[in-house]
Chain A
Amino acid sequence: MHKDLNSFTALMSSSKIFIQQVLALLAKDLKTEWRTREIFTSMFVFAVLVVVVFNFAIGADPQVIRKVVSGVVWVALVFAMILGLQRAIQCESEEDCLHGVLLALHDRSALFVAKVIANVLYMLLVAVCVLFLFSIWFGIDLTSCFFALWIVLVLGILGFSFVGTLFSLIVLHTRTREIMLPLLFLPISVPLIIASVYATASLIEGKSLTDITDYLTLMGVFDVVFLVLGLLVFDFVVEE
């Protein structure tokens, strides 16, 4: 009945174990979210609220609205993501599930990757819904730059997820989680906020992808840097 020590590790190579564990973690997170729908609904509702409040704050001048639309979208998305990250990390701290997971993990960065993928999926879904509402409420035509917009969204959301996931695991051990996550996350994400907002704004104004290559490069570099950093320091963040 008892398996030999080496059979599991011998049967598969390291990378296969990694992928299998990432998929198992991802399946577990998505299954839980499907059942409760807590994370997606809180993110979506919050993003919508932010947009509505901004609408009152900015006023009705369509010229002004066109100028700030991109900023409002990203503010709504970023703050919604912070909220979502808080909730996502909450369920790992109940019943100490994080320790259960750490005991089963071969390479701890699998947890980082799985959490990032889950977060990106939720965020893309929220972004679709928010942009759809945006185009209706503010009469902004997004169909012309649709494809390009998605590239910017993916690059931005990916980068924010890397930073956010890393910090959400740090913040798990702090006393005032609600303020600590935005406090850590926002200053560090300044490059991505700037690049995402201005890339999106340029696209909405009618520019093409080739016009925003410098922003896209910055976003790409940010993403790569934080993926590498995240993987490097993740062990230090989760060990006791």
Chain B
Amino acid sequence: MNRARMVHLEGVTKRFGAMTALRGVDLELERGRCLGIFGPNGAGKTTLLRILATLLRPSAGTVCIAGHDAVREAEKVRPLLGVLSHRTFLYSHLTACENLQFYGRMFGIQKLAERITEVLQAVDLEAHAHQLVRTYSRGMQQRLAIARTILHYPVLLLLDEPYAGLDQHAVGCLQKLLLQLRSESCTIIMSTHDLHRGLDLCDEIAIQSRGKIVYSGSSLGIDAQGLEQLYSAYVE
């Protein structure tokens, strides 16, 4: 297996009853690269990310992550993934620390207490570690969700519209973290319909429209305006 190729999708199709959300998506991403998927609502970005996260099975096609078939060897793939979605996956009646302890035990993280302190510091929540998540503001909950995502040292980050509804503090934390992770060869796939944010982070961009990847290429030399032009060219 080519270990440099972190993600390899071929002909991935997903049907929900009579509706086709993804039609023959092909995608390839090397280790350590960051891909930004841009597209309007309904393009199938969330479906694509959920298939990558092994939460959905494709109706057709192959999904290969780190050399493993994500459908047949899902339990080998899951510990590698860090998934950030619209919902936080956090238990509101537990404290931040307890939530992270739970996920840490599930992933079998060694030296858990130190790791928890580390991630809480990274998202600036150390002072609130022992407060119930119920008492957190929305921004704090999102920061904790980011901490949860990176807790188990994932090698592939899947971020579904990570900037949506974040407050400034959280955006700052996220940017800092993502830059740091990218420098550590973490592979990142991020979907967004915000054309400006994240462009500086991404090495490669793809534009998705109505279930297909209509454009993909390097982000070198493309600024926000260039991306806007591409976007309007490929998406009505």
Residues on A facing B (Cβ under 8 Å): 1-3, 5, 8-9, 11-12, 17, 20-21, 23-25, 27-28, 31-32, 35-36, 91, 94-97, 99-107, 239-240
Contacts and interface: CB of A to CB of B under 8 A. Distances in A.
A183 B166 CA distance: 42
B215 interface: no
Given A94-B92, A96-B85, A240-B55, A107 B108 contact: no
Contact of B106 (A36, A99, A101): A101
B185 A105 contact: no
A135 B175 CA distance: 64
Contact of B103 (A17, A32, A104): A104
B114 to A, nearest CB: 12
Given A28-B91, A95-B87, A95-B89, 20 more contacts: A2-B155, A2-B185, A5-B66, A5-B80, A8-B107, A17-B108, A20-B108, A28-B98, A28-B102, A32-B94, A35-B93, A36-B93, A91-B93, A95-B91, A99-B87, A101-B89, A103-B55, A105-B75, A105-B78, A107-B75
B184 A1 contact: yes
Interface string B109-153: 000000000000000000000000000000000000000100011
Given A2-B185, A240-B50, A8 B57 contact: no
Interface in B52-98: 53-57, 66, 75-76, 78-81, 83, 85, 87-94, 98
Nearest to B118: A1
A24 B105 contact: yes
Contacts of A31: 94, 98
Interface of B: 50, 53-57, 66, 75-76, 78-81, 83, 85, 87-94, 98, 102-103, 105-108, 148, 152-153, 155, 184-186
A106 B152 CA distance: 14
A32 B93 contact: yes
A20 B105 contact: yes
A101 B78 CA distance: 11
Contacts of A94: 92
Contacts of A2: 153, 155, 184-186
Q: What are the nearest 6 A-B pairs in CB distance?
A: A100-B89, A96-B87, A24-B105, A104-B106, A28-B102, A3-B153
Contacts of A105: 75, 78, 106
A17 B185 CA distance: 28
A188 B94 CA distance: 35
Contacts of B55: 99, 102-103, 240
Given A104-B106, A104-B107, A95 B90 contact: yes
A5 B91 contact: no
A12 B108 CA distance: 9
A171 B90 CA distance: 22
Contacts of A3: 153
Nearest to A35: B93
B86 to A, nearest CB: 8
B67 to A, nearest CB: 9
